[in-house]
């Protein structure tokens, strides 16, 4: 017996189109039940997907993907879309490496026309599709579904500035959290309903043609009427940003009222031009715990996961609060990730020195540069994969001017759940190409604190990278050695020891190094480990490594949870070869020139990327 009387029959948009209105409403309830059961088990983005059910179903009723393109900003709210486009049976593997992606992904389905994982990119891509269709003479539509939070990112406004009136482009503004508009009232709803009715559209077109045909004065009369209409509308409920840019605007309206949403989408098509539809939805709708606390249910952990207490993000925020109590020049900055980067407590204790600039990493970094140039000490918490977006700002605004900005590079390393768009594997490589930046890679809360204290008095930019997790269980095997307050390399052996091979590594992947050492020991092969917690300046690090290496010529293996090209291993290996009189037998195990995006389920991303304990053992043998 089928669990869901309607949903179990739906696989494609055509199946959705065949349903009656009453069946649609019943199916929407089934969708929410399915989401709650699956996502509370697998983990994932729940609240936003519960809120966007009606919009998704209406899109599949009105448009015909994959011919018509539906582009989701960030893509974490595309679960319902995946369910209804022949991927419902894959939800047990949601966000498992090689399983169903938690974001839109071109390689996953023909229905995913554009992939994403970072915010504010959808409209630029949609505009590219729409203009390409016009060039090719195609008649299909492109729809961008954009949450209100994405409008804090500059790319959205850059794209809006380039939108043209005569494109087959529909922009849905899904307001589900930030109050960027007036509350929906009966007048606003009435205006939205009128502007999308066929009678209104037909009458408007007929009147326009009639007035413009009046000899000599037709165009002038039409322009005058248009200006009077605009003035009256602005007096009634204010000027509109989208219409000022030349786009037809409809809304705001209730995005969880299915009939209204479908009616507005059909009305938008009848306009025959680019249209913005403003809808207001409720995050977590239909699931009371998520409605009451949508932030908590934005992205939830798998039911089987075990919390290990405080993580590096929390430790970063905790230490920053302690530093800020004694130094009134210290400020904290985040790009809309207050909780994720551990800065919630700082925001409460020092609200005048806390700045959330929205989803705008580029602006955040240059803003930090300004704070620093003005004599303050900004610390910014930002995910490694989001820091990529601010490369130019790091290079041009911070490093070139030798400004003291401290960058907490959160989520460094491979990210099991969120996949390729969120892997923090490029930061060491691109930071290493920027002159003057020091790079730390603490493995424990204690060494994180040492790095942050050093950074508070540094006269250069400092990047401190740390993983999404808690204190490494192997950190007690390595002392937190420091030289004048700067972390230094440490080894679990003495240079006089008889060692067959040495593994040089940094970050949480040290767990693989220790596993390899134990397995090699069982085979009678002696192995030592050198842990780096201060990577750059690389010359200094290379000198420390040389002082720790055994006297005899053993094999040296660099193990790096990051991209090989331009990474720390490649740079240090090159320096070591120049500094030694003899030829070191070195091998670099790092992520090759590719994205880590498995197409089949895998238990170990380390093994998939070729940087696991077994890969170390294979080299030694």
Residues identified as active-site: 283, 361, 389
Preceding amide of 127 cis, omega within 30 = no
Query: Which tokens is 175 given?
Result: 């307001």
How many degrees, rounded to 5, is the angle at CA 21 between CA 18 and CA 27?
A: 80
Q: Is 594 helix (H, G, I), strand (E, B) or coil?
A: coil
Q: Is 179 helix (H, G, I), strand (E, B) or coil?
A: coil
Residue 100 · residue 88 · CB < 8 Å: no
Report the residue count for the chain. 621
Helix (H) or strand (E) holding 556: strand 555-563
Residue 289 · residue 85 · CB < 8 Å: no
DSSP state letter for 176: S
Q: Is 59 helix (H, G, I), strand (E, B) or coil?
A: helix
DSSP secondary structure letters along 324-369: HHH-TTEEEEESS-TTTTT-HHHHHH-GGGEEE--S-HHHHHHHHH
Place of tokens 């069982």: 522
Cα(348)–Cα(526) distance, integer angstroms: 51
Cα(525)–Cα(620) distance, integer angstroms: 9
The radius of gyration of the chain's CA atoms, rounded to the nearest angstrom, is: 28
Residue 439 · residue 536 · CB < 8 Å: yes
Can you say whether residue 484 is alpha, beta or left, with left for phi > 0 and alpha for psi between -120 and 50 degrees? left
Helix (H) or strand (E) holding 79: helix 79-82
Torsion of CA 51, 55, 58, 60, to 10 degrees: -100
Cα(415)–Cα(413) distance, integer angstroms: 6
């Amino acid at each position: 017996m089928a669990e869901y009387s309607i949903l179990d029959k739906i696989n494609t948009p055509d199946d959705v189109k065949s349903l009656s209105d009453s069946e649609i409403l019943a199916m929407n309830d089934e969708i929410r039940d399915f989401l709650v059961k699956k996502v509370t088990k697998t983990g994932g983005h729940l609240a936003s997907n519960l809120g966007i059910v009606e919009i998704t179903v209406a899109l599949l009723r009105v448009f015909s993907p994959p011919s018509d393109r539906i582009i989701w900003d960030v893509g974490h709210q595309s679960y319902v879309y995946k369910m209804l486009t022949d991927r419902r049976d894959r939800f047990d593997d949601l966000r498992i490496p090689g399983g169903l992606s938690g974001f839109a992904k071109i390689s996953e389905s023909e229905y995913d026309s554009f992939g994403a994982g970072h915010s504010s990119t959808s409209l630029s891509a949609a505009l590219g599709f729409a203009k390409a269709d016009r060039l090719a003479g195609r008649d299909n539509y492109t729809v961008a579904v954009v949450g209100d939070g994405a409008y804090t990112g500059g790319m959205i406004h850059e794209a809006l500035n380039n939108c043209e009136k005569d494109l087959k482009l529909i922009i849905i503004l899904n307001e589900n959290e930030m109050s960027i508009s007036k509350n929906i009232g009966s007048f606003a709803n009435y205006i939205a309903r009128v502007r999308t009715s066929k009678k209104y559209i037909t009458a408007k077109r007929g009147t326009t043609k009639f007035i413009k045909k009046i000899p000599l004065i037709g165009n002038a009369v039409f322009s005058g009427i248009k200006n009077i209409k605009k003035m009256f509308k602005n007096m009634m409920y204010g000027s509109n940003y989208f219409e000022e840019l030349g786009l037809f605007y409809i809304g705001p309206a209730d995005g969880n009222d299915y009939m209204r949403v479908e009616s507005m989408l059909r009305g938008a098509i009848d306009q025959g031009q680019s249209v913005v539809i403003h809808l207001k939805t409720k995050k977590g709708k239909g699931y009371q715990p998520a409605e009451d606390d949508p932030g908590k249910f934005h992205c939830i952990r798998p039911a089987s996961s075990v919390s290990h207490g405080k993580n590096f993000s929390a430790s970063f925020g905790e230490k920053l609060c302690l530093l800020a109590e004694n130094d009134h020049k210290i400020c904290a900055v985040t790009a809309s990730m207050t909780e994720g980067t551990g800065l919630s407590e700082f925001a409460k204790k020092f609200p005048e020195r806390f700045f959330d600039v929205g989803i705008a990493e580029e602006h955040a970094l240059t803003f930090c540069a300004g704070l620093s140039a003005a004599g303050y000490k900004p610390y910014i918490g930002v995910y490694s994969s989001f820091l990529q977006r601010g490369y130019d700002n790091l290079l041009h605004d911070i490093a070139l001017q030798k400004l003291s900005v401290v960058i907490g590079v959160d989520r460094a390393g491979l990210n099991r759940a969120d996949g390729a768009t969120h892997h923090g594997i490029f930061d060491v490589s691109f930071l290493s190409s920027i002159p003057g930046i020091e790079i730390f890679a603490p493995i424990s809360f204690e060494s994180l604190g040492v790095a942050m204290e050093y950074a508070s008095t540094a006269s250069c930019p400092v990047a401190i990278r740390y993983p999404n997790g808690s204190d490494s269980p192997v950190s007690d095997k390595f002392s937190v050695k420091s030289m004048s307050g700067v972390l230094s390399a440490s080894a679990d052996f003495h240079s006089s020891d008889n060692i067959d091979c040495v593994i040089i590594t940094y970050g949480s992947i040290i767990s693989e190094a220790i596993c390899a050492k134990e397995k090699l020991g069982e085979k009678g092969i002696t192995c030592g480990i050198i842990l780096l917690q201060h990577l750059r300046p690389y010359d200094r690090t290379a000198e420390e490594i040389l002082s720790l290496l055994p006297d005899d010529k053993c094999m040296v293996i660099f193990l790096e949870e990051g991209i090989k090209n331009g990474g720390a291993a490649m740079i240090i290996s090159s320096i070591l070869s120049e500094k030694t009189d003899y030829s070191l037998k070195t091998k670099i195990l790092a992520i090759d020139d590719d994205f880590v995006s498995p197409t089949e389920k895998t238990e170990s991303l380390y093994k998939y990327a070729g940087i696991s304990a077994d890969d170390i053992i294979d080299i030694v043998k």
